[in-house]
Amino acid sequence: MERVLNQEEIDAMVRAARGRADGGKADQRSIKPCSFRQSGQLTGQQMRSINGLHETFARSLTQSLGAYLRVLFEVKLVSVEQLAYGEFLERVPEVTYMVTFVVPQMSAAAALQIDHSVVFPLIDVLLGGNGHCEALTREVSEIEEQIMQGVGSIICRELAYAWAPLGVDIDLEGRQQAAQMQRFLAPTEKTLCLSFEVKLAEAQGTLNLIFPVSISNTLLRKLSADWSYGKPRAVNHAGPRLLEKMMDCTFPITLGIPTIHLPIQTILTLAPQDICDLGLSVRNPASLIVAGRRTFDAAPVRQGRMRAAQVGERLPIPKEERRQ
């Protein structure tokens, strides 16, 4: 015999079908729109790994370019973002300096962008200036492009050193014109953008590294597989040990007057016991030459039965040697 449901039982079944509780309160559920552009975002662990890897790169680049330029130079990582290539192009000036480099192991190319507010002071320093120049909005010339290739090579070299545990190489290709950079990647392709703040003398600007998804995904996979990038690094004690070892190194030191020029006829007529006029005043100091470089003014003296040098003022490094 079939059972006939009363009205209360029917109402209870309707409420259950609608997902309502016995008390009549609606199930509180929040519905959010799905954005496929936000899919595949970096996790906290991946962000820490990328930050640690490229903060090391920034410190190494600061030391290398600072020594190369012989001026105050600083690079600091300020942001890591995933964004479409078209969004990146909207952020950079229309006239800027961009070069591409290749990662052979990944069969892909990436890009490096530097603001002109830093490029022209760099060129000025490399040409013997002090890096204080007006902001220029024109394209770099062919000669300036060749000068900047040395800077680009150092940046790629330091990035390759930072990525050495990942087993990849980086080869600099060259500067790209604005029209070429528009076609470098599809505007909608997702990229990994690393932004660095650059300070040179009184100039300041941005250096960006742009990696396509083919490189960024491979990089993230390798970083995830290498647990050492996800853990705090131990303090590096190599610096003090290296300094301690260098204290035992020996350098050739000579006390001499390297600026004397004599005619060959005078040298040919010299004989033992002759006195040769060097054309210099006895008050002129000699030089203490360390590893072939004139380092200090010095005077020849005697300490007991040993020859010695009384060290005077430190000599400046010539411009020619500074450029080298």
Confidence of residue 77 (pLDDT cuts 50, 70, 90): very high
Question: What is the percent of the chain with per-residue pLDDT over 90, rounded to a whole number?
Answer: 19
* pLDDT tens per residue across span 149-208: 999 999 999 998 888 877 888 889 888 888 888 888 889 999 999 999 999 878 899 999
CA distance 221 to 223: 5
| Residues 6 or more apart in contact with residue 301 via CB below 8 angstroms | 308, 309, 310
For the segment 40-64, the average pLDDT, to the nearest whole number, is: 84
Structure tokens given for 94 = 């229309």
For the segment 76-80, the average pLDDT, to the nearest whole number, is: 92
* Helix, strand or coil, per DSSP, at residue 173: strand
CA distance 112 to 152: 8
Alpha helix segments (H runs only) across 70-141 = 85-91, 116-126
* Helix, strand or coil, per DSSP, at residue 55: helix
CA distance 89 to 277: 70
* pLDDT tens per residue across span 216-241: 888 888 777 664 444 444 455 567 77
Cα 303-306-312 angle, rounded to 5 deg: 55
Residue length, the chain? 324
pLDDT, mean over the chain: 81
What pLDDT is stored for residue 319 in this prediction? 65
In sequence order, what E strands does 201-285 have? 203-212, 253-256
| Residues 6 or more apart in contact with residue 319 via CB below 8 angstroms | 128
What pLDDT is stored for residue 14 in this prediction? 75
Phi-psi region of 279 (alpha: psi -120 to 50; beta: other; left: phi over 0): left
201 and 131 in contact (C-beta within 8 Å)? Answer: yes
CA distance 17 to 13: 6
What pLDDT is stored for residue 30 in this prediction? 63
- Picking from 78, 77, 72, 59, the residue whose alpha carbon sits closest to that of residue 122 is 72
200 and 125 in contact (C-beta within 8 Å)? Answer: yes
Question: What is the percent of the chain with per-residue pLDDT over 70, rounded to a whole number?
Answer: 85
For the segment 111-125, the average pLDDT, to the nearest whole number, is: 91
- For the chain, domains (ranges, CATH) are 38-244 (3.40.1550.10), 250-266+282-323 (no CATH)
Answer yes or no: pTM beyond 0.85: no
CA 43 to chain centre: 24
What pLDDT is stored for residue 230 in this prediction? 45
Q: Of residues 313 and 282, which shows the higher confidence score?
A: 313
| Residues 6 or more apart in contact with residue 194 via CB below 8 angstroms | 50, 54, 77, 79, 80, 208, 209, 211
Structure tokens given for 145 = 């492009």
CA distance 132 to 203: 7
What pLDDT is stored for residue 232 in this prediction? 46
Least confident of 35-39, 86-90, 238-242, 281-285: 35-39
What pLDDT is stored for residue 163 in this prediction? 87
Confidence of residue 2 (pLDDT cuts 50, 70, 90): low
What pLDDT is stored for residue 229 in this prediction? 47
Q: Of residues 10 and 270, which shows the higher confidence score?
A: 270
